[in-house]
Structure 1
Amino acid sequence: MSSLALPPNAPLLLDLDVSTEEDAIRAVAGLLKGHPDVTDHAAFVAAVFERQKINPPLLGNGIAMPHARTPQVKEVVFAMARCKQPVPFGDGQTPVRLIFLYGIPPHRVAEHLATTAALARRLRDPAIVQRLLDAPDAEAFVEALS
């Protein structure tokens, strides 16, 4: 399987302890506050929530990929979290444990689609998902993705 090209040093929050989709997204997006490629953090988060209203990107297997294509980011930004307990996402209240949140500037659509497809393919493998859920630390989590 080819290597997944995530932005370097993508922040990761292990054992996120929240009970709602909104709190989960705010916590993961908060990892990108102050990121040099996020020009307006509040507007970026608002864009992610707008995208969630349209069609929450849920992969199944307890995985959510909230994101937004927005001019509030200069380059692709990415943050990840593993929730302590399943958090209900979307209208169907789908239980989610793994969150991969990202922002894409309008000029990087092709890269975004390729990265999303590669990540989705990787996360469809139940063994990889289990490794992510079982990872004892950030290094093991990132290694399971690569």
Structure 2
Amino acid sequence: MDIQQLDISKVISPELVNLELQATTKLEVIEALTDLLVGNGAVRDKEAFIADVLYREEEGKTGLGEGVAIPHGKSASVTNTSIAVGRTKTPVEWESLDDKPVNIIILFAVKNSDATTTHIKLLQKVAILLADEEVIEEFQTVQTKEDFIKLLAKNQE
């Protein structure tokens, strides 16, 4: 699958976006975003998925800097590879490259069968997008879930 043809809109929907997360800790953020994934049918076992995400968090920083983190879990409990997005009211402590807290969290839920291909391509695509400071600023101010998804799907034309 060519990265240019990987359509982010296939792995995210408005039900997987919460721009007003009340979470105040990293674990609360991961739990809240996992609840969205469970509610959408993308994850069948909340506890197992959270354990997989936390395991991955121990392997290295997922905070990219500029207030953004991209935690991810490759897990047998994922039924459909998906992305859940949250924006918190107040920044949350997170291990990040610039050692600053984050308030935009893009959680990847990846099926084991997609682990080597789709997962890497999704991360690559989002990472390219997040290298653009203007895009990050827009993530901070965008008002609707639909606009957030449009921004995430940017650079796909």
Q: What is the rounded CA distance, in whole Å, between the counterparts of 1:99 and 1:71 in structure 2?
A: 22
Q: Would you tell me which structure has more helix in proportion to its own residues?
A: 2
> Given that residues 92 and 101 in structure 2 are in contact (C-alpha distance below 8 angstroms), is that contact kept between their aligned partners in structure 1?
yes
The counterpart of 1:70, out of the listed 66, 70, 75, is: 75
Q: Which residue of 2 aligns with 1:110?
A: 117
CA-to-aligned-CA distance 1:38-67 (integer Å, 9 cap, x gap): 232211111111111221312111111111
Partner SS state of residue 89, structure 1: coil
Classify 1:16/1:4 alpha carbon distance in 2 versus 1 (closer, same or farther; 3 Å). Answer: farther
Shift of 1:89: 0.5
Give, as a single letter, the amino acid of the residue that structure 2 aligns with 1:47.
Answer: D
User: Structure 1 residue 99 and structure 2 residue 105: aligned?
Assistant: yes
Partners in 1 of 2:54 and 2:120 — Cα distance? 19
RMSD: 2.0
Change in Cα spacing, 1:97 to 1:8, as seen in structure 2 (3 Å) is closer
Distance change >3 Å, CA 28–CA 141, structure 1 → 2? same
Change beyond 3 A, Cα 1:38–1:18? closer
Cα distance in 1 between the residues matched to 2:44 and 2:34: 13
Q: Per the alignment, in what secondary structure is the counterpart of residue 119 of structure 1? A: helix
| 1:4 CA displacement | 6.3
Report how far residue 100 of structure 1 moved: 0.4
Query: Structure 1 residue 145: deviation in Å?
Result: 1.7
2:142 paired with 1:140: no
1:4 and 1:119 in contact (8 A); partners too: no
Q: Amino acid of the residue matched to residue 21 of structure 1?
A: K
Instruction: Give the whole-Å Cα distance in 1 for the aligned partners of 2:30 and 2:107.
Output: 8
Aligned residue for 1:94, secondary structure, equals coil
Distance 1:4 1:14, change over 3 A: farther
1:16 matched to 2:18? The reply is no
Aligned length: 145
Normalised by the length of structure 1, the TM-score is 0.88
Which residue pairs with 1:5 in the alignment?
7
Distance 1:62 1:42, change over 3 A: same
Distance 1:37 1:20, change over 3 A: closer
CA distance in 2, matches of 1:58, 1:35: 25
- Identity score, percent: 27
Distance change >3 Å, CA 66–CA 91, structure 1 → 2: closer
